[in-house]
Amino acid sequence: MARIDLVDLAHSYGGNGTDVESYALKPVTMTWRQGGAYALLGPSGCGKTTLLNLISGILTPSRGKILFDGQDITHLTTQKRNIAQVFQFPVIYDTMTVGQNLAFPLKNRGVPRSEIDKRVAEIARLLDLTQDLDRKATRLTADAKQKISLGRGLVRSDVAAVLFDEPLTVIDPELKWQLRSKLKALHRELDLTMIYVTHDQTEALTFADTVVVMHDGRVVQSGAPADLFEKPAHTFVGYFIGSPGMNIMAAEVRGREARIDGHTLSLSRSYDALPSGARIEIGVRPEFVDVAEPGPGLLAANVERIDDLGRIRFARVRVGDVKFAARVPAGFAPSGSSVGLKFDPSHVHVYADSHLVEGAA
Ligand code: ATP
């Protein structure tokens, strides 16, 4: 497996003469750790597959370089890059048995028989396929076939990285859950660099130790799931991750105070040097705003509905024209539609033109 460096990497399907702002992948410089479990997360069309195809060699970048363990592989073919890939739909040979399918990538590279048998047995055990090794693949369900595709992707121990492009799309929801956890366990056992593309935050957050969030052709944040939740670097990350997403609201921020809708909110950090002319917003996750009876010092809001999610209830409220979600404390029932919102200042973030501003202690 390898460390992967992207150096000023960018791609345009319309040729590299066009404006960078129109690129499918805007310039990115970042490192993917050797042995890391990464998820590449973002909505449809944000550039995930483009980035994955640049790493695998299916695409040649319009600009920049890709290094595997320090070596420039930007112009090497997919085969020379030594990458394993698992796609959305099963890629297996129906005429072969499950065991032969799993063995194929190793046989192809002339791995000795004893080594092949050992590795196939290990992967089959990890994916619960041992009892199916002698069955012909043709009779299996789409789910089972995709499990074999996963196995084929994981069977080689010498690959630079294993790339997964939405591999659980065709899998039935119950099995999806099991396979997702299984992939995480496999990552721990096999010590491979894995990059998993998905638009599903649950899939990304359960699989990865580092989630790379993309928006409109840009990597907007790369971090541990807890970082993305607690400190979104971009308002898009706040909105896209979490359910409901982060509340974002225009505000006037001065020092340790934010003014929203005529109300003054205390902040835990000081913001004295905000860029002039920037669009200033505050962001706070619904988990850190409580609904209470209206009262002095609370931001006035109107309840539209309450969503009971079992372990937690969220009120959907309006502050002026802006929609907001807030936690309803256990045992609390608002007496009318007017409520007050109580913020936890340590979880209120300030954004300038959508980017997080750190503030001073
Ligand atoms: P999805 O989850 O829908 O696959 P994605 O995040 O993987 O989306 P990409 O497939 O990388 O996104 O697409 C990024 C942008 O590049 C989109 O605007 C898409 O329309 C465009 N694009 C992708 N492939 C091509 C192509 N072969 N030619 C021209 N434009 C393309």
Question: pLDDT tens digits for 44-92?
Answer: 999 999 999 999 999 999 999 999 999 999 999 998 998 999 998 888 8
pLDDT digit string, tens, across residues 101-113: 999 999 998 999 9
pLDDT digit string, tens, across residues 199-236: 999 889 988 999 999 999 999 999 999 999 999 999 99
Q: CA-based diameter of the chain, in Å?
A: 76
Distance from the CA of 283 to the center of ligand 1, in angstroms? 30
Distance from the CA of 280 to the center of ligand 1, in angstroms? 31
Q: Is the pLDDT of residue 18 over 80?
A: no
- What is the pLDDT at residue 133? 95
Distance from the CA of 1 to the center of ligand 1, in angstroms? 27
The token pair at 108 is 């192809």
Confidence category of residue 31, pLDDT binned at 50, 70, 90: very high
Q: Is the pLDDT of residue 152 over 90?
A: yes
Instruction: Give start and end residues of each alpha helix (H) in 211-300.
Output: 225-230, 235-240
Look at ligand 1, atom 26, and give the residue with the nearest C-alpha.
Answer: 13
Q: pLDDT > 90: what percent of the chain?
A: 75
Look at ligand 1, atom 17, and give the residue with the nearest C-alpha.
Answer: 45
Look at ligand 1, atom 28, and give the residue with the nearest C-alpha.
Answer: 13
Whole-prediction pTM:
0.91
Residue 303 burial by Cβ neighbours in a 10 Å radius (0-12, 13-18, 19+): middle
- What is the pLDDT at residue 209? 93
User: Which residue ranges form the domains of the chain, and what is each CATH number?
Assistant: 4-235 (3.40.50.300), 247-357 (2.40.50.140)
CA 197 to ligand 1: nearest atom: 7
How many CB atoms are closer than 10 A to CB 345? 14
Q: Which residue has the higher pLDDT, 250 or 186?
A: 250
How many CB atoms are closer than 10 A to CB 169? 14
Average pLDDT score over residue span 1-8: 92
- What is the pLDDT at residue 262? 86
Residue with tokens 């979490």: 242
- What is the pLDDT at residue 172? 83
pLDDT digit string, tens, across residues 240-269: 999 899 999 999 999 999 999 889 999 999
Q: Is the pLDDT of residue 164 over 90?
A: yes
Q: pLDDT > 70: what percent of the chain?
A: 99
Look at ligand 1, atom 9, and give the residue with the nearest C-alpha.
Answer: 47
Distance from the CA of 51 to the center of ligand 1, in angstroms? 10
- What is the pLDDT at residue 221? 97
Average pLDDT score over residue span 116-121: 96
Cα 95 to Cα 101, 104, 143, 168: the distances in Å are 9, 12, 17, 23
The token pair at 46 is 């944000």
Q: Is the pLDDT of residue 176 over 90?
A: no
The token pair at 222 is 């790369």
Determine if ligand 1 sits within 6 Å of the CB of residue 44: yes
- What is the pLDDT at residue 185? 85
Look at ligand 1, atom 3, and give the residue with the nearest C-alpha.
Answer: 44
Confidence category of residue 192, pLDDT binned at 50, 70, 90: confident
- Tell me which of 50, 168, 218 to substitute to probe ligand 1's pocket, judged by most ligand atoms within 8 Å of the beta carbon: 50
Distance from the CA of 239 to the center of ligand 1, in angstroms? 22
Find out whether 5 and 195 touch, Cβ atoms under 8 Å: no
- What is the pLDDT at residue 74? 97
- What is the pLDDT at residue 178? 81
Residue with tokens 């595997």: 68
pLDDT digit string, tens, across residues 307-345: 998 889 999 999 988 999 999 999 898 888 999 999 999
